[in-house]
Amino acid sequence: MDEVSPQNSLEKALAKRLEERLANSKFRKLTVAAPGSVDFSSNDFLSLSTSSTLRSAFVDELSRHPNFPLGSGGSRLLDGNSQYALDLENEIVSFHGASAGLLWNSGFDANSGFFACVPQPGDIILYDELIHASVHDGMKLSRAGRKIAFKHNSVDHLRKTVQALKEEDVYVGKGPKNVFVAVESVYSMDGDLCPLKELVECIEEALPYGNGHIVVDEAHATGVIGPLGRGLVSQLGLEKKVFARLHTFGKGLGTSGAILLCSPIVRSYLINYARPLIFTTSMPFINLAAIKASYSLLQSGVTEPLVSHLQMLTSHLHTQLLRMLIRYTRPYESINDTLHVSPLRPQSPIFALLTKHPRSLAAHCQNAGFVVRAVVPPTVPTRRVRVCLHAGNTVDEVDRLVRSIESWVRDRIGVASSPAVEELEKARL
């Protein structure tokens, strides 16, 4: 923590809280990656933010509008709207097979705005226990009567929760009371996919009067999953089964902003009641042009080879990690306390390296020139190092990352390199 003396009683109280967080290894601070480091941390899955192809498409789009304004001038309800923004919304809506959509400055604004105003008094919100913080912030402001978590990705627990609600309240089972179900298509910290098809079937069966409304956050799926990167909802053909879905542009698409796909009535309602939209200066033209340029790459199929390469790297990293861990697992022993990697086939380019010592592992990798981040409670329930792969990464970079992790594992468990291991490492160098 910065060595600055508190100036008054309030700052003393704040400093005490910060010291407590520091003592519990939960202190957050802003950092900058060392120059030349290899990115295994950012959400720039397709490496578009540094892509010359996207940059050229963006510059071309700007050249078609040489007199573009640098700022938007206000919120979209005042002077910040434009025909360009409306046309872009319609283009994205059409691409994702939706009926309407609304642009937002960020996915956080969209989630918090939606859940704060759309659920009506007495309605119920059921949410996956690992749902994003933006949904939690929206629920805190919501007029919904109850907000209930269900076990992560457990359709069975969701079904039991809905059944219990129906037994408690006849208005749930008969339809007047709405039940919102909040999930993510790809979960940001573990990288696992929502069992969305089964979840939709569960809600349709349990709430046959149509009062079950599924809201899917596609932030980490956009550009990476589904036909031309349309997301998991489109991949499963569930466009008509989902009440609303959020696509963000600051991850796979390499720009910034978001769109909430919904019905025309919900769009109009959000324009009238969603405070993060009403009282925020809208995105300027340059942001909109970047979004349009990124979507042009999706629509033309330019990103498909990037997705294929990313999938190959994902499989390769998983295989190499498992092989590495097997080398240090003796009969009847486990190194899971030191490092655990799920044996299941990864569903996304996000890896959770579970360990009781995430800061140590992250620092070791960072010193070796790799950008990875330790993620600890309260951000997540289980300590881990989060690794994200990108289309711009190479097989060699992945292999060097695994070797760095392996050297840390050896140090932690006190295993010196055997001649066989040393020969193997020489062969890999």
132 lies in the same domain as 253: yes
Domain membership of residue 373 as a residue range: 304-416
pTM, to two decimals? 0.92
Q: What is the pLDDT of residues 133-178, one digit of tens each?
A: 999 999 999 999 999 999 999 999 999 999 999 999 999 999 889 9
Task: Choose the final residue of a domain: 244, 267, 300.
Answer: 300
151 lies in the same domain as 190: yes
With 0-12 / 13-18 / 19 or more C-beta atoms within 10 angstroms meaning exposed / middle / buried, residue 359 is middle
Identify residue 261 by its one-letter amino acid code.
L
3-class secondary-structure state, position 69: coil
pLDDT of residue 428: 45
Identify residue 55 by its one-letter amino acid code.
R
Task: Choose the final residue of a domain: 252, 277, 300.
Answer: 300
Residue 18 placed within a domain: no
CA–CA separation, 340 vs 333, rounded Å? 13
- Tell whether the model's pLDDT for residue 423 goes beyond 60: no
Residue 132: how many other CB atoms lie within 10 Å:
23
- Evaluate whether 116 touches 142 at the Cβ level (below 8 Å): yes
- Evaluate whether 186 touches 350 at the Cβ level (below 8 Å): yes
* Average pLDDT across the chain, whole number: 93
Residue 17 placed within a domain: no
CA–CA separation, 41 vs 274, rounded Å? 32
- Evaluate whether 102 touches 129 at the Cβ level (below 8 Å): no
Q: What is the pLDDT of residues 260-304, one digit of tens each?
A: 999 999 999 999 999 999 999 999 999 999 999 999 999 999 999
Could you give the number of structural domains in the chain? 2
Q: What is the pLDDT of residues 184-228, one digit of tens each?
A: 999 999 999 999 999 999 999 999 999 999 999 999 999 999 999
CATH assignment of the domain containing 338: 3.90.1150.10
Residue 168 placed within a domain: yes
pLDDT of residue 7: 86
Q: What is the pLDDT of residues 89-100, one digit of tens each?
A: 999 999 999 999
Look-up: residue for tokens 């912030």?
137
- Evaluate whether 119 touches 141 at the Cβ level (below 8 Å): no
236 lies in the same domain as 129: yes
Alpha helices in 253-394 (DSSP H): 264-273, 275-278, 285-300, 304-327, 358-367
Contacting residues for 381 by C-beta, under 8 A, at least 6 apart: 130
Contacts of the segment 145-148: beta carbons below 8 A, 24+ positions apart? 145/121, 148/124
- Evaluate whether 163 touches 196 at the Cβ level (below 8 Å): no
Task: Choose the final residue of a domain: 271, 300, 329.
Answer: 300
Q: Which pLDDT band, with edges at 50, 70 and 90, does 419 fall under?
A: very low
123 lies in the same domain as 246: yes
237 lies in the same domain as 199: yes
Q: What is the pLDDT of residues 339-386, one digit of tens each?
A: 999 999 999 999 999 999 999 999 999 999 999 999 998 888 899 999
175 lies in the same domain as 228: yes
